[in-house]
Amino acid sequence: MFCVANIESEWRFDPSSLYSLSDEVAIVTGAASGLGRAIAYGLAECGASVVVADIDSDGADDVADLIGDSAVSKRVDVTKPESVESLREFTLDRYGDYSIVFNIPGTNVRKSVFELSLEDWNRVLEVNLTGMFVCAKVLGRHLVDREDGSVINMASGRASNTGPEQSAYSASKAGVVQLTKVLAAEWAPDVRVNAMSPGYTKTRLVREAMEDEEWYEEMRKQHLLGRFAEPREIVGGAVFLASEASTYATGSVLTIDGGWSA
């Protein structure tokens, strides 16, 4: 007969402790708005000290001020290695260490292939994919050297579920998924690298797009839950991938898309 008393001691623990980020330092790029902002708040609420990094320095300042003493802000341009290096040194000077990196910045140009200029294409790929590579390369070095840490890259449901006028964005996010898997392979077993793939979430930019009622209804119906996500519904997955709750996950893509991909 199964008996709880016979469970080996290492199987008995407080599950809530797995999600604690106390004494951890997290760098969140793209944290001035949208999902980056929500994730920065969530990590801080779970005990982490957070470096709120964004090219929008005023927005980053606002987020850090709202979080309070457990956050600082730093301007960063993720497409420029010297700027990301400055972010790394700033964090190490301030905290002496960091163990969590969220790579979130992204942009989009919604045009058909025939309308999309090479300049538009290059800009989307530069921010969404090259910026991801630069942050991983520069910020990941410290994690590899310390032989521990978690990197989370922001992919998108558009990496696999695409549509018209999404060529650059979809290609860039599909590249993020593959880059994530390569990094996981190269940095195993010490550093875990995963990606998040959210569906449409009610950030400021998405709310603006929702004003096009025809577009919104078409997209809403593609999500099995029949709605777009609230930012807080993505934060739980972010905390999971940053914390000890996911220590056996690497090279994976966590899909939180309301059934869009199903």
Q: How far apart are CA 73 and CA 53, in angstroms?
A: 6
Q: CA nearest 75: which of 66, 67, 63?
A: 63
Q: Is 200 annotated as catalytic?
A: no
**Nearest-angstrom CA–CA distance, 28 and 34:** 12
Q: Cα separation of 148 and 94, whole Å?
A: 19
Q: What angle do CA 144, 147, 153 make, to 5 degrees?
A: 50
Rounded Cα gap, residues 35 and 17, in angstroms: 24
* Amino acid type, 202: K
Distance CA 108, CA 127 (A): 9
Contact 150, 192 (CB under 8 A): yes
Of residues 169, 200, 216, 248, which has the active-site annotation? 169
Q: How far apart are CA 109 and CA 177, in angstroms?
A: 20
Element of type H or E holding 127: none
d(CA 233, CA 35): 10
Dihedral sign from CA coordinates of 47, 50, 56, 59: positive
Q: Which residue numbers are catalytic?
A: 169
